[in-house]
Amino acid sequence: MNPSVSRRRMLQMAAAFAPAAMLPAQSTESDAQTETDLRPTVSRVHPGPSGKLVYTADAQGNTIPDFSNAGYGGGGVPIPFVLTRETIWPVAGDNAANLQAAIDRVSALPLDADGFRGALLLRAGHYPLATPVSIKASGVVLRGEGMGDTGTILIGTGTGRTTGSTGPGRAQPTLVRIAGSSGWVPREDTKQAITDDYTPVGSHTVRVANARGFKPGDTVIVRRIGNQEWIDARGMNGATQ
């Protein structure tokens, strides 16, 4: 007997195991199937020996996307509180110019240690915008006062965001654009078609018609075109909202 295990501990262990020993050994085919389905290693995502999640592909090679880097700072990082540096109220008529001027003033402030310039507080009310406003500097936060009819509401009164687009919601105007002053400059001469008939979800590689224009370290943009064929294949052709 292990001297480190006391008599009281032995009695507790016996009491814990006794009910289990009295249970009848009954198992049906459905019970066995349920137990098999619940095994961690059968799941598409399960903890590995090291404690990290293991993503298992299905027959087509699809894996559940890894969302561990989603969220502020790559996930798992508390969002810092950003001080309000500017406050505005709704004005009569179009609010785009007034809101844009306030955004520009906050954008001109220096960055703090956390990489923020400050927050622009939009007091509760309706803000009709005939044209979108733009945030072109990092570290600018737009802050409202609550949700619902009594909160801060931006209302787009301009044209739809995509000319000639169809489908529910496609004609809604853009309210806020967030982009750098330079943006991406596409190089049409390097554009190559993906030759794979099927690219599984979670793939890290694709085959292209000609890879001569690419070299290690290049930033590559993979563009997926959501055409009607893709919409039909995904079963989204019956969506109404």
Question: Which sequence spans correspond to the domains of the chain?
Answer: 84-178
Distance CA 27, CA 60 (A): 34
Which tokens go with 47?
């903890």
Backbone angles phi, psi at 194, to 5 degrees: -80, 125
* Ranges of residues in the chain whose predicted pLDDT is under 70: 1-42, 160-171, 183, 239-241
d(CA 236, CA 220): 28
* Cα end-to-end distance, the chain, whole Å: 69
Tokens representing 57 are 């592909």
Q: What is the pLDDT of residue 161?
A: 58
| H or E segment and range at residue 103 | helix 96-107
C-alpha Rg value of the chain to the nearest Å: 28
Which two structure tokens, joined as six digits, stand for 164? 């000639």
DSSP state of 150: T
Residues 178-234: tens digit of each pLDDT: 988 776 777 888 899 999 999 999 888 999 999 988 899 988 888 887 788 878 887
pLDDT at residue 31 in the model = 38
CA pseudo-torsion sign 91, 97, 103, 105: negative
